[in-house]
């Protein structure tokens, strides 16, 4: 159900952030950018458990990453009025796709994604800088802000790209996404207070 015009004028609509459920690669901490990995059984259960939380919000729109893990999460969580948004793809990790931080640090001691970036990969994984991810997310947020006039908007995507989204919502540099840990199968809320962007809730696990 859409919120009333009076509620919208008060600015109560919020951006609902959903990180997809567990995959085998997220479970083993492998960097999963454009590789289309499916949900594990636990990941599917995480998505189903999110449904009661999302039902209470009744988002007017839902924008979903093209990745199967995000699409499946949105479906299992019962989201309606969904639309695929290419700008929500995960960070392209380039030559680090499929590798863990521990493995990368064997070659680059002390490596940290948010400050050291990635190396180019193959044609399907050319890699992105954090600034490029931020620019992509800025475009998504422009659209989100227009949709928020109609009510809550849900965004279903991936850990790192959603952390960048949170940073940009708050007006911080893209690399400030490093400050916002985000687990699989969680819901977060971005809103406003006195017309200024805030985090209303973060990294909330579903009820069990």
The per-residue pLDDT for range 83-125, each reduced to its tens digit, is 999 999 999 999 999 999 999 999 999 999 999 999 999 999 9
For the four alpha carbons of 118, 121, 125 and 126, in that order, the dihedral sign comes to positive
Residue with tokens 């009076």: 6
- How many domains does the structure of the chain reveal? 1
For the four alpha carbons of 146, 150, 155 and 160, in that order, the dihedral sign comes to positive
Q: Is residue 83 annotated as a catalytic residue, yes or no?
A: no
3-state SS assignment for residue 199: strand
Confidence tier at 8 by pLDDT (50, 70, 90): very low
CATH number at residue 146: 3.40.50.1240
Q: Mean pLDDT, to the nearest integer, of 32-53?
A: 97
- Tell me the C-alpha to C-alpha distance, in Å, between residue 104 and each of 60, 133, 137: 41, 21, 26
The mean predicted confidence, pLDDT, of the chain is: 94
- CA-closest candidate to residue 69, choices 176, 157, 201: 157
Of the listed 20, 31, 125, 160, which one is catalytic? Answer: 20
Domain membership of residue 52 as a residue range? 5-204
Query: What is the reported pTM?
Result: 0.93
Kindly state the tokens that stand for 105: 């640090």
Residue with tokens 């999110």: 50
Confidence tier at 6 by pLDDT (50, 70, 90): very low
User: Could you give the CA distance from residue 17 to residue 25 in angstroms, rounded to a whole number?
Assistant: 21
Residue 12 pLDDT = 79
For the four alpha carbons of 151, 207, 78 and 65, in that order, the dihedral sign comes to positive
Residue 108 pLDDT = 98
> With helix as H, strand as E and coil as C, how does 139-159 read?
HHHHHHHHHHHHCCEEEEECH
DSSP 33: S
Q: Is residue 31 annotated as a catalytic residue, yes or no?
A: no
Of the listed 90, 125, 158, 160, which one is catalytic? Answer: 90
- CA-closest candidate to residue 82, choices 177, 147, 179: 147
């Amino acid at each position: 159900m859409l919120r009333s015009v009076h509620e919208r004028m008060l600015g109560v609509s919020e951006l609902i952030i959903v990180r997809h459920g567990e995959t085998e690669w997220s479970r083993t901490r492998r960097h999963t950018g454009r590789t289309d990995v499916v949900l594990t059984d636990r990941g599917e259960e995480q998505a189903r458990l999110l449904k009661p939380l999302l039902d209470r919000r009744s988002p007017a729109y839902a924008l979903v990453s093209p990745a199967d893990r995000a699409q499946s999460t949105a479906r299992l969580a019962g989201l309606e009025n969904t639309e695929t948004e290419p700008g929500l793809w995960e960070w392209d990790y380039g030559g680090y796709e499929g590798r863990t931080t521990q493995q990368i640090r064997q070659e680059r001691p002390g490596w940290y994604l948010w400050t050291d970036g990635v190396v180019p990969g193959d044609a399907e994984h050319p890699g992105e800088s954090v600034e490029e991810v931020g620019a992509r997310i800025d475009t998504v947020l422009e659209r989100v802000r227009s949709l928020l006039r109609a009510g809550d908007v849900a965004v279903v995507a991936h850990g790192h790209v959603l952390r960048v989204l949170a940073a940009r919502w708050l007006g911080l540099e893209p690399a400030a996404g490093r400050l916002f840990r985000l687990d699989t199968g969680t819901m977060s809320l971005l809103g406003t207070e006195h017309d200024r962007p805030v985090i209303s809730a973060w990294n909330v696990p579903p009820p069990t």
